[in-house]
Amino acid sequence: MNTKILFAPTSDVETELLAVFAVDTAPKGAPKPEVRLLAGDDAVANAARTVLDGGEFKAELCEPLLLHSPSGLKARRLLIVGLGKAAKLTPHEVRKGAGAAVRFAKPRGLREVAIAVPVAEALDPKLTVRALAEGAVIGDFDSDTYRSDRKDRSVQSVQVLVPPAADQGAAEAALREGVIVGESQNFARALVNEPGNRLTPTVLGQRAAEMCREFGIQCEVYGTDKLRELKMGAFLSVTQGSDEPPALIVMTYEPQGAPAGPVLGLVGKGITFDTGGISIKPSDNMEKMKYDMAGGAAMIGAMRAIAQLQPPVKVIGIVCAAENMPSGKAQKPGDVQIAMPAPGKPGKAIEIINTDAEGRLVLADGITYAKQLGATHLIDAATLTAAVAIALGQLNAGIFANDDDSYQRFTDGLKVSGERFWRLPLDDDYRDVIKSSIADIKNTGGRYGGAINAAMFLKEFAEETPWLHLDIAATAWNDDAKPWMASGPTGIAVRSVIEWIRRFAG
Ligand code: BES
Ligand code: MN
Ligand code: ZN
C-alpha cells in the first residue's frame, strides 16, 4: 500500500472513494443522535446534508454510509464513517475508523481511497494522523494468503488529507511513523498466519534474517549446536521430539552513540507448532496452534519498526523457535531438565509435569541468554496459557511485572498504542505452586491461576532484572473479523512493545 499526504481542500480531491469521519454530539440520554462531520469543507457538508438530515445514520463506531456522485465534490464516492460519541473520541477511534474505510473499499474492488484527517478539540493532530495511517495499513491485511480466488484485493493507494493550515512537517513525520508501525504489525501478522509446514523454526529464522538485512540491523540464527554450547537444557528439551531443528534468533539494534545503558531485551516465544508433545492436545482446534509463535513474531515486528524509527537505545531481540512434537525422542512427563546456567550459578533443575507447558521452558533459557548478552530490562511476549483467556477474556492481554517503573513506562505507551493489557499479580507466595520434590521447580502449577503459575515460573529466570511478561494467548488471534481488522492474526503487542522501547530512549 502506497500512502501519501495531501494538503488540499477535501472537495478538490479526485478519488474513487473519499472517506470522512463523523461523530454523535448529542448529550447523554438524548433521544436522537446529532451527527457532526469532523472533516472537509462546506462542499462536503452540503453533499452530505440531505442524507444526514434523514436521520438513519447514527455515527456509531465504524458505521459506514456511502454516497455515489456526491454533488459539488470531485470524488466519485463519499463514505462517511462513524466514530461514535463525540465525548469519547480519541485517536484510537480514528485508527479503527480508518481501518473500516479501507476494509469497506477492499471487497468492492476500489483500489484508491482518500481519507480526510478528522479535526476536533479532543484529537491531538500528530497522534491522529499517526493512528489514521496505522489503521489504514492494518485494515488492508487479510489472512487469505493461499486462496487463489481472492488475490490482490489490496487498496493500492491511500491519500491522507490534511487541512493546509496544519503543521505540515509534523503531519509528514506522523504519517511516516504510522506507516512504519502499521507495516511492522502486518509483518508480524503475516508470519503468524503461516501454517506450521511452511513456517518451521528454520524458515522463521530466515524471515527474521531477511528483515534484519533489509533494515540494516544485525541478526544471528543459531541451531542445536549453539543451544548445547550454551547449555540451554530447557529449550533443548522442547526441541528434542521434533525432526525440525530449532532456531535461536538474535537480532541486535545498536544505534551509533547510544548510551551504554539501558539495554532492552525482548524475548519471544516462537513455537511454530504446538501439539502439546507427549501430553498431547485434543485434536479439536489443534490447527490453531500454528499461532504459538505470535510472541516471537511480535518481537520481530517490533525490531523491524525500531530499525526504522531509530530511537537512541540499544535493543536485543531474541526469539526461541521450535516445534513441540511427540515422538520416540520427545521428552516425557517426569523428566528432569537443567536450564541454562546464569553466570556463577548452576542451571535450575526443572521437573517436567506436562510437556504442553513448553513455552515457559524455551523462554526460561531465552531470558537467561538475554541477560547474558547484557540486557538490563526485559520484556517477553508469549501465547503462554489458555488460562489467561479464562481470567481476562479476549479483550485484554495479561501483563505481569516484577518492576513498577518498567510497568509504568509500558502503561504510558498504551495511551499511544491503544492496545489493552491488564496487570495480574506475581506475589512471592504464589511460588509454592511450582515447588518440586525432585528438582528446583516444576513446569506446571495446577488447576487454578494458570496464567500466574506460568509467570511465576518465568520470574525464577528473570530474577533481579526488571522484567515484563505479556501473555497474549487469548488476544493474538481473532476468530471473527472486526470492521477495522480481518479475522486471523492480530499482531497484538507489536505497537505496545515499540512504545515501551521509545520510553527508554533519551
Ligand atoms: N500454546 C499453549 C497455550 C495456548 C492455548 C495458546 C490456547 C493459545 C490458545 C501453551 O503451550 C499450553 O499448552 N499451555 C498449557 C499449559 C498447561 C499444560 C499448564 C495450557 O494453557 O493449557
Ligand atoms: Mn503447549
Ligand atoms: Zn504453546
Comparing 40 with 318, the larger pLDDT belongs to: 318
Of all helices (H) and strands (E), which one includes residue 467? Answer: strand 467-471
Tell how far the Cα of 356 is from the centroid of ligand 2, in angstroms: 4
Do 99 and 206 have their domain in common?
A: no
Residue range 138-158: mean pLDDT, rounded: 89
Same domain? 463 vs 420:
yes
Our CA dihedral for 194, 195, 197, 200, rounded to 10 degrees, sits at: 50
Same-domain status, 156 and 268:
no
Instruction: Check whether residue 154 and residue 191 sit in a common domain.
Output: no
Mean of the pLDDT values across residues 226-235?
98
Q: Whose CA is nearest to atom 8 of ligand 1?
A: 473
Bigger pLDDT: 146 or 151? 146
pLDDT of residue 165: 87
Instruction: Tell whether 167 is covered by a domain.
Output: no
Q: Is residue 89 part of a domain?
A: yes
Of all protein residues, the one whose alpha carbon is nearest to atom 13 of ligand 1 is: 356
Count structural domains, the chain: 2
Q: Which of 74, 153, 231, 281 is catalytic?
A: 281
CA–CA separation, 430 and 186 (whole Å)? 37
User: How many whole angstroms separate alpha carbon 498 and alpha carbon 505?
Assistant: 11
Residues 148 and 204 in one domain: no
Domain of residue 86: give its range.
Answer: 2-162
Tell how far the Cα of 283 is from the centroid of ligand 1, in angstroms.
14
The reply to whether 147 and 224 lie within a common domain is no
- 292 touches ligand 1 (CB under 6 Å): yes
| Contact (Cβ atoms closer than 8 angstroms) between residue 456 and residue 431 | yes
- Tell me how far apart the alpha carbons of residues 246 and 259 are, in angstroms, rounded to a whole number: 33
* pLDDT, tens digit (0-9, with 9 covering 90-100), for 333-380: 999 999 999 999 999 999 999 999 999 999 999 999 999 999 999 999
Matching residue, cell 516462537: 270
Q: Does residue 169 form part of some domain?
A: no
Q: Is 356 in the pocket of ligand 1 (CB under 6 A)?
A: yes
Q: What's the gap in Å between 268 CA and the centre of ligand 3?
A: 12
Reply yes or no on whether 360 is catalytic: yes
Any atom of ligand 1 within 6 Å of the Cβ of 387:
yes
For residue 151, the CA-to-ligand 1 centroid distance in Å is: 34
Indicate if 289 and 324 belong to the same structural domain.
yes
Q: Is the backbone peptide bond immediately before 262 cis, with ω within 30 degrees of 0?
A: yes
Those residues whose beta carbon sits under 5 angstroms from the ion ligand 3 are 271, 274, 292, 359
pLDDT at 239: 98
Name the strands in the sheet holding 397-401, side by side, starting at the edge strand that comes first in the sequence: 218-222, 247-253, 314-324, 263-274, 377-382, 467-471, 397-401, 421-423
- Whether 255 contacts 342, CB under 8 Å: no
**Residue range 302-307: average pLDDT?**
99
Active site residue 409: no
Helices H / strands E in the chain, number of each? 13, 20
Residue 154 CB neighbour total at 10 angstroms: 13
Between strands 314-324 and 35-37, the pairing is unpaired
Average pLDDT over residues 235-245: 98
Are 271 and 157 within one domain? no
In the structure grid, which three cell numbers stand for residue 10, read together? 477535501
Q: Which ranges constitute the DSSP H helices of 378-479? A: 387-392, 404-417, 450-462
Say if residues 26 and 55 touch (Cβ distance below 8 Å).
Answer: no
Please report, for the domain that includes residue 281, its CATH number.
Answer: 3.40.630.10
Kindly give the distance from the C-alpha atom of residue 349 to the centroid of ligand 2, in angstroms, as a whole number: 20
Evaluate whether residue 177 is within a structural domain. Answer: no
Report the residue among 280, 385, 390, 477 best suited for mutation to probe ligand 1: largest number of ligand atoms under 8 A from its CB.
385
Cα 217 to Cα 109, 165, 177, 220, distances in angstroms: 37, 38, 18, 10
Stretch 475-486: mean pLDDT: 98
**Residue 179 within any structural domain of the chain:** no
Is the pLDDT at 269 greater than 70? The verdict is yes
Query: Strand pairing of 18-24 and 35-37?
Result: antiparallel
Q: How high is the pLDDT of residue 151?
A: 62
> Do 121 and 211 belong together in one domain?
no
Q: Are 310 and 394 in contact (CB under 8 A)?
A: no
Q: DSSP code of 504?
A: T
Residue among 92, 51, 69, 362 nearest 201 (CA): 362
Ligand 1 pocket residue status of 385, Cβ below 6 Å: yes
Q: Which of 360, 459, 495, 502 is catalytic?
A: 360
Does the residue 134 lie in any domain?
A: yes
Cα separation, 414 vs 399, whole angstroms:
12
E strand spans, 69-213: 77-85, 112-116, 157-161
CB count within 10 Å of CB 408 equals: 12
Does some domain include residue 320? Answer: yes
Quote the DSSP letter at residue 455: H
Reading the block at residue 382, the C-alpha cell is 508469549
Q: At 48, which CATH number? A: 3.40.220.10
Mean pLDDT score, 63-69: 98
In this structure, the answer to whether residues 145 and 234 fall within a common structural domain is no
**Res 324 pLDDT > 80:** yes
Whether 153 and 214 map to the same domain: the answer is: no
Whether residues 12 and 110 share a domain: the answer is yes
Single residue among 104, 129, 162 that ends a domain in this structure: 162
Residues in the chain: 506
503 torsion bin: left (phi>0), alpha (psi -120 to 50), beta (else) = alpha
> What is the pLDDT confidence band of residue 152, given thresholds at 50, 70 and 90?
low
Query: Which is it for strands 467-471 and 18-24: parallel, antiparallel or unpaired?
Result: unpaired
Chosen domain end from 113, 131, 162: 162
DSSP labels, 288-339? GGGGGGHHHHHHHHHHHHHHHH--SSEEEEEEEEEEE--STTS--TT-EEEP
Please state, in angstroms and rounded to a whole number, the distance separating the CA atoms of residues 212 and 66.
42
Helix (H) / strand (E) element for 225: namely helix 224-229
Residue 376 located in a structural domain? yes
Q: Report the amino acid identity of residue 170.
A: A
- Give the C-alpha separation, 105 to 141, whole Å: 12
Mean pLDDT across 106-119: 96
User: Is the Cβ–Cβ distance between 295 and 380 less than 8 Å?
Assistant: yes
DSSP string, 31-71: SS--EEE-SS-HHHHHHHHHHHHTS-----TT-EEEEES-T
Between 93-102, 116-125, 148-157, 482-491, the lowest mean confidence (pLDDT) is in 148-157
